């Protein structure tokens, strides 16, 4: 014989007669290796059986699927009405600011099918585009609500998602209201479980975006009338999209921040709901099993918090409205300074120094920022000069260079306070103020 077989025969002939070793040809070795790889790649039937749905997922998906028909306590009904009104008002006021103007123009260019309304404009577009635009509008001017227990702003994504899908599916007012309440129940519970602000600091992920997309998906899924199985797929599509980095803190124009807090999660949640409503299937339980959401995101708390007191504690009732049109960590600071001004009328020239103590991690969010409505030192200076902070003054970038404001700005010292950090989610403002004894 010739060729490879001949060479193999020659090699066998050269073996000493007393050697009994087994000799494998290259072809035989490759065949054996292939068989090993095949057996590893294709597990046995017992190994490939889908694990049972976890108790957490069963509880969560059932609760979500029944939300449209579940009667809410009166307190939750009233608060949900308030957050809807508050968020729509934020969209309207935000439509005149750069992030809002950008969002409207974006929707105008990529409007697609005429289904859903973009607030503050004459644009009617597809539900995904409307959710994106209205989400950005809702967080354009920092007037949207906050949920300090979860380090999130639920309204700016949940309400736009419910509005867009409500128009898509023609839902009535009661279903719309319950969809919003459900979004508040689900989104904040996700980042409560992850660990809220300490989690954001440790992981560099945006809790606002993560909470927002789960809340938006829940609201949109309720509008779409998804059943429990579909809600499980919805959660899987949502988990795949869950994203966002805390680098939003470096945004100097508030456009990316509006996208991260409102537009992106609203868009993602609506997309997940529309996919499932159109017939898409997914992983049955993204919260357990191999490569699940909790394994990927590494929560600081037990996963059971995700369903803790569902149907008993309505997160919408723990949501706060802003008195001032500024970042959440500055709310108590302005309250405290306003109280000082009411009790002791004084002029800015009389003030020697203002010391502000804020929880450590929150201090970093508002410390000398480039955007006026989230710069603590600037807003304290504005209040010293104007005796108040209005919507207009909170957003006047030009005043950040005003000599009168800068003179007061130099007097403001922000001190990160570990004790206040331990007391979160409670927020206190100015603990100590140094000023002229004459005041």
55-318 topology per CATH:
2-methylcitrate dehydratase PrpD (1.10.4100)
User: What mean pLDDT is reported for the chain?
Assistant: 89
At residue 111, the pLDDT reads 86
At residue 32, the pLDDT reads 53
At residue 6, the pLDDT reads 41
At residue 25, the pLDDT reads 57
At residue 421, the pLDDT reads 82
Give tens-digit pLDDT for 54-73.
Answer: 999 999 999 999 999 999 99
Residue 44 has pLDDT above 60, yes or no: no
Per-residue tokens: 77: 């009904």
- Mean pLDDT throughout 119-141? 97
Long-range contacts at 194-200 (CB < 8 A, ≥ 24 apart): 194/297, 194/299, 194/300, 194/301, 195/299, 195/300, 195/301, 196/149, 196/150, 196/151, 196/152, 196/425, 197/151, 197/361, 197/362, 197/424, 198/300, 198/361, 199/151, 199/299, 199/300, 200/151, 200/246, 200/361
Q: For a pLDDT cut of 90, what percent of the chain falls above it?
A: 79
Residue 21 has pLDDT above 90, yes or no: no
| Range list for CATH 3.30.1330.120 in the chain | 328-422
- Mean pLDDT throughout 166-185? 98
Q: How far is CA 181 from CA 275, 285, 287, in A?
A: 22, 23, 22
At residue 39, the pLDDT reads 47
Q: Quote the DSSP letter at residue 261.
A: I
At residue 118, the pLDDT reads 98
Residues 6+ apart with CB under 8 A from 279: none
At residue 419, the pLDDT reads 87
Residue 3 has pLDDT above 50, yes or no: no
At residue 427, the pLDDT reads 54
At residue 420, the pLDDT reads 86
Per-residue tokens: 219: 């609201």
- Residue 219's SS3 state is helix
- Mean pLDDT throughout 244-250? 96
Residue 166 has pLDDT above 80, yes or no: yes
| Range list for CATH 1.10.4100.10 in the chain | 55-318
β-pair partners for 117? 124
> Closest Cα partner for 325 from 93, 119, 83, 79?
93
Tally of residues, the chain: 439
Per-residue tokens: 102: 């950008």
Give the residue, 429 or 128, on which the prediction is more confident.
128
pLDDT bracket for residue 14 (50, 70, 90): very low
Q: Distance (Å, rounded) from C-alpha 428 to C-alpha 133?
A: 34
- Options 3.30.1330.120, 3.30.465.10, 3.40.50.300, 3.40.190.10; CATH of 328-422: 3.30.1330.120
pLDDT bracket for residue 26 (50, 70, 90): low
Per-residue tokens: 136: 């950005």
> Global pTM?
0.83
Residue 79 has pLDDT above 90, yes or no: yes
Q: What is the dihedral of CA 429, 80, 238, 117, to 10 degrees?
A: -110
At residue 425, the pLDDT reads 66
Exposure b/e, 46-55, CB count within 10 A at least 16 = b? eeeeeeebbe
Residue 375 has pLDDT above 90, yes or no: yes
Residue 437 has pLDDT above 90, yes or no: no
pLDDT bracket for residue 31 (50, 70, 90): low
Residue 237 has pLDDT above 70, yes or no: yes
- What helix, strand, coil percent values describe the chain, rounded to 5? 60, 5, 35
For the beta carbon of residue 240, count every other beta carbon within 10 angstroms. Answer: 14
Residue 43 has pLDDT above 70, yes or no: no
Least confident of 14-23, 63-72, 193-202, 203-212: 14-23
Give tens-digit pLDDT for 218-232.
Answer: 999 999 999 999 999
């Amino acid at each position: 014989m010739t060729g490879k077989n001949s060479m193999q025969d020659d090699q066998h002939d050269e073996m000493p007669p007393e050697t009994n070793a087994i000799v494998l040809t290259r072809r035989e070795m490759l065949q054996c290796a292939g068989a090993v790889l095949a057996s590893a790649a294709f597990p046995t039937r017992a190994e490939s059986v889908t694990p049972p749905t976890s108790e957490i997922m069963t509880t969560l998906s059932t609760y979500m699927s029944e939300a449209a028909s579940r009667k809410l306590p009166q307190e939750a009904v009233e608060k949900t009405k308030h957050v809807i009104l508050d968020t729509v008002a934020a969209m309207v006021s935000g439509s005149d600011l750069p992030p809002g103007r950008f969002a409207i123009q974006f929707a105008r260019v990529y409007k697609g099918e005429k289904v859903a309304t973009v607030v503050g404009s004459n644009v009617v577009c597809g539900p995904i585009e409307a959710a994106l635009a209205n989400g950005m509008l809702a967080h354009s001017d920092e007037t949207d609500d906050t949920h300090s227990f979860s380090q999130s702003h639920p309204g700016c994504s949940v309400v736009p998602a419910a509005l867009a899908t409500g128009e898509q599916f023609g839902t009535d007012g009661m279903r719309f209201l319950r969809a919003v309440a459900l979004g508040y129940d689900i989104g904040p519970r996700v980042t409560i479980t992850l660990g809220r602000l300490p989690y954001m600091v440790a992981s560099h992920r945006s809790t606002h975006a993560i909470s927002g997309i789960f809340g938006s998906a829940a609201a949109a899924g309720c509008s779409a009338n998804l059943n429990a199985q579909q809600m499980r797929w919805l959660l899987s599509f949502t988990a795949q999209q869950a994203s966002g980095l805390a680098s939003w803190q470096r945004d100097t124009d508030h456009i990316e921040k509006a996208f991260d807090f409102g537009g992106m999660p609203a868009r993602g949640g609506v997309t997940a709901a529309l996919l499932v409503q159109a017939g898409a299937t997914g992983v049955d339980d993204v919260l357990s099993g191999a490569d699940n959401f909790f394994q990927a995101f590494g929560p600081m708390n037990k996963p059971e918090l995700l369903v803790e007191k569902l149907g008993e504690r309505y997160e919408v009732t723990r949501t706060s409205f802003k008195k001032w049109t500024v970042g959440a960590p500055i709310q108590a600071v302005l309250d405290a300074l306003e109280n000082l001004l009411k009790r002791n009328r004084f002029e800015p020239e009389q003030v020697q120094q203002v010391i502000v103590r804020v929880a450590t991690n929150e201090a970093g969010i508002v410390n000398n920022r480039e955007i006026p409505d989230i710069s603590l030192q600037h807003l304290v200076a504005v209040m010293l000069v104007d005796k108040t902070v209005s919507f207009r003054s909170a957003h006047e970038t030009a005043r950040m260079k005003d000599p009168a404001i800068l003179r007061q700005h130099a007097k403001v010292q922000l001190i990160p306070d570990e004790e206040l950090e331990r007391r979160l989610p409670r927020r206190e403002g100015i603990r100590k103020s140094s000023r002229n004894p004459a005041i």
